[in-house]
Amino acid sequence: MIKRKIYLLLTGMVLVMLKSSAQQTIQFSQYVFNGLAVNPAYAGYKDDWTVNLSSRLQWVGINGAPQTETASIDGIANSWNSNVGIGLIGTVDRLGPENMSSVYANYAYRLRLDAEDTKRISFGIGFGVKQYSLNGSEFNATDAADGSIPAGTVSKVSPDFRFGVYYYTPNFYVGASVFNLLAKPLVNITNNAPIVNEVKTIYLTSGAMVPLSDFMDLKPSFMIKEDFKGPTNLDLTAFLVFNKIVWLGTSYQTGFISFNKANLQSSLNETDAISAIAQFYLNDHFRVGYSYDFTLSKLASYQSGSHEISLSLTFGRRKQRIVSPRYF
């Protein structure tokens, strides 16, 4: 009975999206290990070609809860000066009767800022397409004549464009990006009624690697996500890194009202979750990670947390010594 109530709550959230704005950006606790998911200027950062795979099951135990998978590959296109990075990323994001799939091609131009090639600033763009679909048969409508609920499945494909800038040194990085630059309402193909209103989203990320000893480092980072419709999202993360092989960390996700947003209710619970994260570099080419989110909102008693696993594989490593190790 409780699970049925939560499922009705989730489908109700989707019904609200039909006539208002929704946040289409994905949620990952381990975003720090796949920067291409939040910034196209990250393409080629590691110099070598890198494949990243991530899968997230959110709010386990609730029917129709969010599920997200992403796969990406990026690397250097011109090895003689490493100024051009390219990448490809695909994402599938599901929430109850909703499904959003996308694929983006990314290009980054990376300017060298010192002779030793330890500092660069990168400007990136991403072009892609998104397919949004909604299965109306999964709704249990109180008004069978509600024109906002489609009969069967409706689907729309739209182009998209994203832009970002990324600066890094051996022990510090900062980046900013804008997603959904071509945002526009997606409409029902049968009656032109709005399905969902896309919104532009801004990401601001930064982090550092702080040596504590010859064996241990501290890596703090943060991410701010703003879509100008809901609360501003803040993610604070810190890792203890042991011998550059084992990364153990925690992350705190919350929201805050950064400026006056008249559409938001004053009683919103802005606290989201605390995550426990573990990453293991099995060798120079392979990384595996896992995180578990402890939900702090009122959904905590209706589900058993969120699970996320990520993998990365690096290949084509050049034999020459890397002057600037890639910690981010």
For residue 274, give Cα distances in angstroms to 47, 248, 250, 285, 294.
32, 14, 7, 29, 5
Picking from 5, 36, 15, the residue whose alpha carbon sits closest to that of residue 194 is: 15
Query: What pLDDT score was predicted for residue 292?
Result: 93
Picking from 151, 153, 158, the residue whose alpha carbon sits closest to that of residue 186 is: 158
Residue linked to tokens 């809860």? 65
For residue 24, give Cα distances in angstroms to 134, 229, 271, 278.
14, 12, 20, 27
SS (H, E, C) 78-93: CCCCCCEEEEEEEEEE
Which residues of the chain carry a pLDDT beneath 50?
A: 1-24, 189
Residue 114 in domain? yes
CB 50 within 8 Å of CB 73: yes
CB 297 within 8 Å of CB 260: no
Q: For residue 235, how many other CB atoms are within 10 A of its CB?
A: 22
Say how many domains are in the chain: 1
Please tell me the pTM assigned to this model: 0.82
Spatial CB neighbours of 11, under 8 Å, sequence gap ≥ 6: 64, 96, 97, 138, 139, 140
CB 100 within 8 Å of CB 131: yes
Q: How many CA atoms lie within 13 A of 293 on its CB side?
A: 28
Query: What pLDDT score was predicted for residue 296?
Result: 78
Residue 304 in domain? yes
- CATH number of the domain residue 222 falls in: 2.40.160.60
Residue 9 host element (H or E)? helix 2-19
Residue 190 in domain? yes
Residue 15 in domain? no
Query: What pLDDT score was predicted for residue 31?
Result: 86
Rg (Cα) of the chain, in Å, rounded? 21
Residue 271 in domain? yes
Domain boundaries, position 277: 29-315
Residue 63 in domain? yes
Q: How many CA atoms lie within 13 A of 159 on its CB side?
A: 5
Query: What pLDDT score was predicted for residue 284?
Result: 83
Residue 18 in domain? no
If you write DSSP's letter for every residue of 139-196 in order, what string do you get?
---SSTT-TTS-SSEEEEEEEEEEEEEEEEETTEEEEEEEE-TT--EEE-TTT--EEE
Tell me how far apart the alpha carbons of residues 156 and 197 are, in angstroms, rounded to a whole number.
Answer: 12
Residue linked to tokens 């996308």? 102
Query: What pLDDT score was predicted for residue 68?
Result: 92
Residue 66 in domain? yes
Residue 235 host element (H or E)? strand 232-242
Residue 5 host element (H or E)? helix 2-19
Q: Parallel, antiparallel, or unpaired: how do β-strands 194-197 and 172-179 relate?
A: unpaired
